[in-house]
Amino acid sequence: MKNSRGARLLILTTVGLLSCGKEEAPRTGRRVIKFVSSLPHTGIANALSDSIANGIRIAIHEAGGKVGAWEIRYESWDDASPQRGGWDPAVEAANADRAIQDPDVMVYLGTYNSGAAKISIPKLNAASLVMISPANTYPGLTKPGRGAPNEPDIYRPTGTINYFRVVPADDIQGAVGAEWAKKLGARKVFVLHDRELYGKGIADIFKARAEALGLKILGEEGLDVKAGNYRSLAAKVKAADPDLVYLGATTQSNGGQVAKDLRAALYRGKLMVPDGCFDRAFIDSAGAENLNDLTYVTFAGVPAARLAGKGEHLYKTYKERYRSEPEAYAIYGYEAARVAIDAVRRADRKDRAAILKAVAETRDFDGLLGRWSFDANGDTTLRAMSGNAVRKGTFEFVEMLGSE
């Protein structure tokens, strides 16, 4: 969205929504600590964002809705707009400002899109407000030398790290994607990307690793995400005769339409996409018949249905509570909220700087995918990646990839 009306699109929810489905007026006060999330609920990513928010709600509910003397209140905010059909820079900026101005907000959970994170991180940094992402994977947000020359320092005006993520970054995912492509028998690859921070970033990493492995790159093209179709591009790809197309994109940036047009152009080779397309909306937008048996998806972690221990408990709880399958990143919404709850407990006070410090000191956390810590950059020490395929109109786990 390009004007201030986006601020009025923010969606408020609370822990009280867990069972009744009705909005409860938020309460503020000395004994209330707010967690807010900023995710794209307007547009094609709505189901995915709802699933992340539901994971957050479950974590807070399991904590009894409180930590020590403080009641934990949760508000789910939309960072998308109808005009853009996805996350909107103006709305994300408004969300960050709103969080800063509310003295009860102690934790900012988000964002889904890495481009949105670039907007909110420095704002929240100046306010010593911790940000924990369940989904951002662009390496430059945290890792020196893995993005633009001024990254990640540009996001840290105070010199203190306030941004953390519970999901492994694309420098891992893009590389293992290339390794998997070779294992699947690919020799000639055409690379597509959406020209956005996440999509182009992971495509570049995939391409570099693929070339190092001896795969031949037949071509590379950036997409016009505002285009209605990609028929001419699909014809160009088909003429190049690759045995695998790598598409660095999200469902929001027309990943499904690209897949549909590739099949319409009679391309019958393999298609590989990253976790930005690991949602039901990708299958629905592309058409299952265009994906079945030839489409492969990398994901940072393992699908919820394959989790054991605490993860299995979450999976069963989610299905019982929401009567649906959790989308891929629901597990990371839950994990991010658990990290925040643990930090509030250890800080033992309603103070942004103290809670931020406690998050940064998270070590040996007993998480859904095993024990992990935040490193000096704010990244998880976990490296687990999975390979999945579309079969019979749904995602099916294939194997673990790379180093777990």
Q: What is the pLDDT of residues 204-222, one digit of tens each?
A: 999 999 999 999 999 999 9
CATH top-level class for 170-299+385-401? alpha beta
The answer to whether the CB of 298 falls within 8 A of the CB of 386 is yes
Cis geometry, peptide bond prior to residue 111 (ω within 30 degrees of 0): yes
Distance CA 362, CA 322 (A): 30
Nearest to 377 by CA among 218, 74, 150, 164: 164
The answer to whether the CB of 245 falls within 8 A of the CB of 190 is yes
The answer to whether the CB of 358 falls within 8 A of the CB of 130 is no
Rounded to whole angstroms, the maximal C-alpha distance in the chain is 65
CB atoms within 10 A of CB 346: 15
Nearest to 48 by CA among 257, 282, 234: 282
pLDDT for the residue 369: 87
CATH top-level class for 4-167+309-372? alpha beta
Mean pLDDT of the chain: 92
Distance CA 78, CA 239 (A): 41
As beta bridge partners, residue 37 has: 76, 109
348 HSE (CA, 13 A, CB side): 1
Q: If you ran DSSP here, which 8-state letter would residue 308 be given?
A: -
Query: What is the percent of the chain where pLDDT is above 70?
Result: 92
Domain limits, CATH 3.40.50.2300, in the chain: 4-167+309-372, 170-299+385-401
Q: If you ran DSSP here, which 8-state letter would residue 321 be given?
A: H
The answer to whether the CB of 138 falls within 8 A of the CB of 105 is no
pLDDT band at residue 403 using 50, 70 and 90 as cut-offs: low
67 token code pair: 């930590």
pLDDT for the residue 14: 35
pLDDT digits (tens, 9 = 90+) for 283-326: 999 999 999 999 999 999 999 999 999 899 999 999 999 999 99
370 token code pair: 């095993």
Pairing mode, if any, of strands 130-133 and 244-248?
unpaired
Pairing mode, if any, of strands 270-273 and 365-367?
unpaired
